[in-house]
Amino acid sequence: MRKDNRFQAIYKQLLTLHGPQGWWPIRATYHKHDYDIPQTPEELFEICVGAILTQNTSFKNVDLALHNLREHNLLNPQNLLKASEILVKTCIKASGYFNQKTKKLLTFTDFFLTLNHRKPLRNELLSLWGIGPETADSMLLYGWHEPIFVIDAYTKRIFTHLNLIDATFKYEDMQAIFEDNLPKDYILYNEFHALIVEHAKQFYSKKPYGIKCPIKSYLA
């Protein structure tokens, strides 16, 4: 199948516009060109916790929740399971939906401890209560460096606005379009997803979407 070179071109344009984003920012010394994180099981667990907490909220709120968990030494799977649910809910309250997210965190943590340092299958993650495709793919991409493209609301919003994907497509259909038209490279997928989020914050956060979006003029 012939590749649509516009996807790679947009990636390069976004990188020129916004520069490297350096996701996942899990520690103060994290450098934007450091793609080796996570380097420890603790960092991996933190990324997975963050992927759950970021459901239906901004990363600013997640960052506060992660800080609270860290202050109580709960970014450790064993400690998190031993903690009272009231304490966990209090720590993650800033991320919203804290009752549901506490259940999701505890369910995932039980599973995480069974992995014994192996990479989970995508279907295994999707079988867990509260873990959908976007959350599972975020874990696999940012945590396990699996070259799998994350589709979020911003991605759908921007690329349907640019008429590059159909709004009626399912998650996996949209994902396939990106993966079919880009090199299979977890670093590229990491940066592209983060760049999409940054671009959306600037040009697609409020209606009417895409006002003064430089990508639109580039594609015209």
Q: Exposed/middle/buried for 39, CB within 10 Å: 0-12, 13-18, 19+? A: exposed
Residue matched to tokens 């920012």:
25
Helix ranges (H only) for 20-121 are 41-53, 59-71, 77-82, 85-92, 98-115
Residue ranges, CATH 1.10.340.30, the chain: 41-143
pTM recorded for the entire structure: 0.94
Tell me the pLDDT tens digit for each residue of 146-190: 999 999 999 999 999 999 999 999 999 999 999 999 999 999 999
HEC string of 12-41 equals HHHHHHHCCCCCCCCCCCCCCCCCCCCCCH
The CATH code of the domain at 6-21+148-219 is 1.10.1670.10
Topology given in CATH for the domain delimited by 41-143:
Endonuclease III; domain 1 (1.10.340)
Tell me the pLDDT tens digit for each residue of 81-128: 999 999 999 999 999 999 999 999 999 999 999 999 999 999 999 999
What is the C-alpha separation between 111 and 124, in angstroms, rounded?
A: 9
Long-range contact list for 120-126, CB < 8 A, 24+ apart?
120/144, 122/148
Give me the pLDDT at residue 219, please: 84
Residue ranges, CATH 1.10.1670.10, the chain: 6-21+148-219
Query: Would you say residue 201 has pLDDT above 90?
Result: yes
